[in-house]
């Protein structure tokens, strides 16, 4: 009986489809992993930019509170 695992499935950009990693060649696996790495890297950069924008907004909104706290602590 053939048992397939979800871990055996992999997206292959050369085929533009999902397939079994156990039957794919090494170069095909390498290309798939490089493509996945680039996708994750791009997504991470987008999330980093969102976090920086949000941090700027929070700093602008809390700047008045921070200045009043520093005035009272002197």
Q: Burial, 32: exposed, middle or buried (Cβ in 10 Å; 0-12, 13-18, 19+)?
A: buried
11 falls within a domain: yes
Q: Encode pLDDT of 8-67 as tens digits.
A: 899 999 999 999 998 899 999 999 999 999 999 999 999 999 999 999 999 898 887 877
73 falls within a domain: no
CA 37 – CA 23 distance, rounded (Å): 21
1 falls within a domain: no
26 falls within a domain: yes
71 falls within a domain: no
57 falls within a domain: yes
Number of domains in the chain: 1
Q: Encode pLDDT of 32-42 as tens digits.
A: 999 999 999 99
Specify the pLDDT at position 1. Answer: 46
For residue 33, give its domain range.
Answer: 7-66
58 falls within a domain: yes
Specify the pLDDT at position 72. Answer: 79
């Amino acid at each position: 009986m053939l048992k397939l695992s979800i871990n055996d499935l992999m997206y292959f950009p050369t085929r533009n489809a999902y397939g079994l990693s156990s039957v794919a060649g090494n170069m095909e696996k390498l290309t798939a992993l490089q493509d996945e790495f680039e996708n994750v890297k791009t997504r991470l950069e987008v999330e980093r930019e969102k976090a920086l924008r949000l941090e700027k907004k929070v700093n602008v909104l809390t700047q008045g509170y921070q200045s009043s706290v520093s005035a009272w602590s002197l």
